Amino acid sequence: MSAPSSGGASRDGYGAALLELANDPRVVVLEADLGKSTKSCHFRAEHPERTVSLGIAEQNMVSVAAGLASCGKVPFASTFAIFSERAFEQVRNGVARPGLVAHLCGSHGGIHTGTDGSSAQSIEDLAIYRTIPGMTVMHPCDDLSAKALTMQLLNHKSPSYTRTARNKTPRMYDEDTIKELKIGKASMLREGVDIAIIACGVMVHKAVTAANNLSKEGIHAYVVDMHTIKPLDTELINKLVSTCKGIVTVEDHSIIGGLGSSISEYLSTTKPTKITMIGVEDRFGESGGSEELLELVGLTVERIEEACRVL
Whether 251 sits among the annotated catalytic residues: the reply is no
Rounded CA gap, 61 and 77, in Å?
7
Backbone angles phi, psi at 14, to 5 degrees: -60, -45
- Active-site residue, from 20, 46, 58, 217: 58
How remote is the C-alpha of 151 from its chain's centroid?
A: 15
Cα 309 to Cα 61, 218, 219: the distances in Å are 47, 10, 8
Q: Are 136 and 197 in contact (CB under 8 A)?
A: no
Among the residues of the chain, which ranges form H helices? Answer: 10-21, 35-38, 41-46, 58-70, 81-84, 88-89, 125-130, 143-152, 204-215, 234-243, 259-268, 290-296, 301-310
Q: Are 173 and 11 in contact (CB under 8 A)?
A: no
Q: Considering Cα of 87, then 89, then 93, then 99, what sign does the dihedral take?
A: positive
Please list the active-site residues.
58
